[in-house]
Structure formats: C-alpha cells, structure tokens
Chains A and B, each alone.
Chain A
C-alpha cells in the first residue's frame, strides 16, 4: 500500500487483486444477498482508491481495509432496505405506475384525423417539446441526482466510469439514479 500511495500502478493493481477475496469475504459475512456481493466489492475498491491517502503505513493494513468493506456492506444493506421500502410505497400508490406509458400513447385518438405529414411534423415538434420539458425538469433535480442520471442514463457511462467522473460511489450513483427517476416521475405528474 505504501508503494501504491507513492504512485506505483503495478503494486496497486497487485494489492487490489489480493484484497478482493478479503473484501468479498467481509461482504459475504455481512450481506446474504449474492447479487449484491460484486457491487459491494466494487464499491469498497472504489472507496479504497478514494481514501488511500488516509492509510498510515505504520499501522496494520487489515483493520483499515475491513472497516471500509464493513461500512460499504452496511451501506448496501441500508440502501436495499430503502429501495425496497420506496418500491413498496410506489406499488401501494397503484394507478400512478402506468402514467408514463399514458403520456407516450394517450394522444392516439386525436392524431387519427391528421395527415401523415402533419403527424410526422407534430411528432417531431412533440419530441422537441418533450426534450425541452425533460431538460427543464432535469434542472430542478438536486445536483447529485442530475449528475448521476446524466452520467449513467444519458451518457450511458458504466457505473465505474460515472463513479470516477463524479466522485460518487457506485451505491450512491444507483440510489441517486433511482431517486432522480422517481423525482422526475413525480414532476411529470405534477406538470399534468
């Protein structure tokens, strides 16, 4: 780790490979959901990268590493519980779930009388308006949610790339994307 702090990429890569099984073991101990394991491992590696300057070479490495792995596992558990709670609330809300679909397809009767050219022009206009509306709604999102949504959904970056670009952890990105979509849905409904 000392060499990694001094900027040796090969030592750092070797270190990250060697600690991955340890991180995985900590995550497995704290989190029973297998599909979350790799996410926790990656989140921990990203945190290790972010806080590598806090490691004191005069102190043992393992407690430093395992405390990060434990914290990220606990964060993942909390996040999953929160998302599950939100999803349950959304399901209980019922009729709103299909609203976005209705927004896309609800104009079909009005459009039946239009000529094909008018239809195409109107669709293009609607597309532009929708883009403008989306852009204006995006501006109303909290900065971190907007950043996460733009990186992951619009720029189609991987979570690792988005995390490196934004400084947000993979878990935080997932939560912020989830919240951004939820907020956007609510804003669409409020706008009618």
Chain B
C-alpha cells in the first residue's frame, strides 16, 4: 500500500468533526452526575444517623475522604490519558489517595481485628455492593471515555475501573453500619480488584468505539 495514496484517500471526503471537550471538563461532568445520583440514593436509603455517628472518628473521616479522592483522581487520570499527548505521569495521580485509603482502612483493621462472624457476613454484602454499584458507574464512565478512542486502552481501563470502584466504595461508606475489619478491607479490595481485572480484560471491546 502506498502512503501517498493513503493520504489522498483520507483527505478525500473529509468530514468536519466535533472537538472533544477538555478531559477535565468531561471528568467533572461524570463526577457531578455520579455525586448527584449518589446523593439521591443516600438521602433516600442510607441510615445517616449511623453514618454521622461513625464520622465522629477522624480515621473514618480520613477513610471517606481518601476513597472520594481516589475516585476523583482515578477518573481524572483516565480522562486525561484517554487523549493522545498527555503525560503518562497522570497515571500516578490516584496512587497517593489510594495509599491513604489503604492506610486509613488498615489502621481501622488494627483497631478492630478480624471482627465477628456476623461482621464477616456484612462484609460479603459490601463486596456485592461495590461490585454491583461499580457496574453502572464503570459502564457510564467507559461510555464517555470511548469517545476518545484511547490509543493505550489498558491504562485508561485500569484507571477508569479504579475511579468507578472507588466511587462505589465511597457511596458504600454511607451504608456501612460498622467499622472496617480485616475481612471487610480484604473484600473491599477484592471487589475493586475484580472490577479492574474485568475492565482490563474487556478493554478493547469496551473502549474501541466505532470510527468517527
């Protein structure tokens, strides 16, 4: 195939395209939608009395903030890296909040240990909650990300999955009636890992949008 001919073919019948908005704007748009819908669900279904009681502990506040920051930074990094020419260092953005989330939860584990048998059953509910809530979150996020036809879909899928799973974990905090235990944390992380693994595996069909 001749490169000159290819250039001619590509230029012939060229159609105008709608420029993609800035990754930051698109990330904020998704985050605002998620925050709005989550607020509705929380106001309608969550036991806020228990939540405010748990928030009396600075460690729980830190855990909540770190989870929310992981969701925000993971999403922002995914949108940035979905566009060519952005620094690969964006991928490191959610690392610090994620470590903070792990650290704050780990501290809770030290305080609460393995927890009770009833707590272990509750932890399983948390796993299901994160996994189930991540599905619509990740689907809507990937639907927005695929408009950019990411040239490196793996890192976009992993960061997007982290953002969606962290958002689900953040919402979970409002439905979490007890403090974090070792089993609880392990199952939270397992749910996040599951979402990341599924999206990384399905990255090509999910992120490979039809040609514009």
Contact = CB atoms under 8 A, between A and B. Distances in A.
Contacts of B82: 54
A99 B212 CA distance: 42
B5 interface: yes
B85 A71 contact: no
A9 B12 contact: yes
Contacts of B22: 56
Contact of A160 (B6, B19, B151): B6
A64 B85 contact: yes
A38 interface: yes
Contact of B7 (A6, A16, A38): A16
A55 interface: yes
Given A67-B151, A68-B151, A12 B10 contact: yes
A73 B23 CA distance: 25
Interface string A16-39: 110010000000000000000010
Nearest to B17: A53
B83 interface: yes
Interface residues of B, number: 32
B16 interface: yes
Given A5-B17, A13-B11, A51 B85 contact: no
B103 to A, nearest CB: 34
A38 B97 CA distance: 43
B19 A49 contact: no
A9 B84 contact: no
Given A5-B17, A67-B84, A54 B9 contact: no
A20 B3 contact: yes
Contacts of A8: 14
A167 B3 contact: no
Contacts of A164: 9, 211
A64 B3 CA distance: 21
A49 B85 CA distance: 15
Interface in B162-212: 208, 210-212
Given A13-B7, A17-B7, A45-B3, A54 B14 contact: no
Contact of B8 (A13, A20, A55): A13
A192 interface: no
A66 B88 CA distance: 13
A150 interface: no
B10 A49 contact: yes
B1 interface: yes
A53 B19 contact: yes
Contacts of A7: 14-17
B192 to A, nearest CB: 27
A56 B80 CA distance: 12
Contacts of A5: 16-17, 19
A45 B5 CA distance: 12
Nearest to A52: B17
A50 B212 CA distance: 6
Contact of B14 (A9, A53, A68): A9
Interface of B: 1, 3, 5-20, 22, 82-86, 148-149, 151-152, 208, 210-212
Interface of A: 4-10, 12-13, 16-17, 20, 38, 41-42, 45-47, 49-57, 59-60, 63-68, 71-72, 158-161, 164, 167, 170
10 contacts: A5-B17, A8-B14, A12-B11, A13-B7, A17-B7, A41-B3, A51-B149, A56-B22, A67-B151, A68-B151
